A and B are shown apart, each in its own frame.
Chain A
Amino acid sequence: MSATLRLLVTTPLGEHVVEDVVYLRLDGPDGYRGVQPGHEPALTVVRPGALTVETVGDAPGESFLATEGGFAWIQAGEVRIVTRWAARAADLDQLLDQLRERFHRRAHVERDVRSQLQRYDAATRRALVGLQREVTR
């Protein structure tokens, strides 16, 4: 049995690997679940929120991994998190800053797309009215 775990975070755009994990706290549908090396194989749902990751080795300490929710597949010496999006930070404040920034960025993108759609809509209406006039003339 290995003394540490390997954490693999799989998102649609790639995979992030965290080595030397000694403890992982998942937020599941039935509450928090602590995972340590030697945990029995399991598959569980991960709720949106932050996972706590404790590592030893080159970068020892605690860090946090925010996910949009997904699945955690616990295997011997390895935990694989499958999620749509994830971000990792050394503390929760940093993580919250990242999330707020992402929230604002996406909201702005949405606003731009909406206004563009409205412009297209108005242009289509104008063209249709013009066409109707031409036809009825």
Chain B
Amino acid sequence: MTESPPRPEDAQQPATPPPGEPEAPEDEGLPRSRHPTDRVLIDRIERQKTERLRASREPAGSLWRTVAQVGTLGWLIALPPVLGAFLGHLIDMRLDTGITWAIGLLFLGLGMGGYFFWRTIQEAEENGT
């Protein structure tokens, strides 16, 4: 495979970046360079490698697991407010308090549903699924 020699116009860049232009950060043991394309290229290929690793780790039948997960998410969001409203309605009937408990527990259920949803997504992201 071929490789271009260092280009004179690249080599004669100033030692410090012009004002307003951020200097390339030094990370992963790579020295500072005036060749941003190299860094972009390395980052992209590392990302591609991670994607491939993740894809190879994914077990067979993951489609069904995804479907089940989506179903679970739906229940997680829908059930707490419905249960809250139902429970609140029963308490309201017993105590004769109008819709106070129903509304209160409905919103509590909504909040809990949102929290459960967020937690499930976080867990799925941590597991890389």
Contacts and interface: CB of A to CB of B under 8 A. Distances in A.
A and B assemble together = yes
A107 interface: yes
Nearest to A10: B2
Contacts of A95: 45
B31 interface: yes
Nearest to B11: A113
Interface residues of B, number: 28
Nearest to B31: A107
A99 B34 CA distance: 15
B38 interface: yes
A7 B10 CA distance: 30
Contacts, number: 93
Contacts of A103: 30-31, 33, 35, 38-39, 42
A118 interface: yes
A82 to B, nearest CB: 13
Given A11-B2, A86-B2, A102-B3, A66 B45 contact: yes
Contacts of B3: 11, 13, 85, 87, 102
Interface in A86-103: 86-88, 92-93, 95-96, 99-100, 102-103
23 contacts: A9-B1, A11-B2, A13-B4, A48-B44, A49-B48, A68-B41, A85-B3, A87-B3, A92-B45, A95-B45, A96-B42, A100-B42, A102-B3, A103-B33, A103-B35, A104-B31, A106-B33, A106-B38, A107-B30, A107-B31, A107-B35, A110-B13, A113-B12
Given A13-B3, A68-B37, 15 more contacts: A9-B1, A16-B1, A48-B37, A48-B41, A49-B45, A85-B3, A96-B42, A99-B38, A102-B3, A106-B6, A107-B30, A107-B31, A110-B33, A111-B31, A113-B11
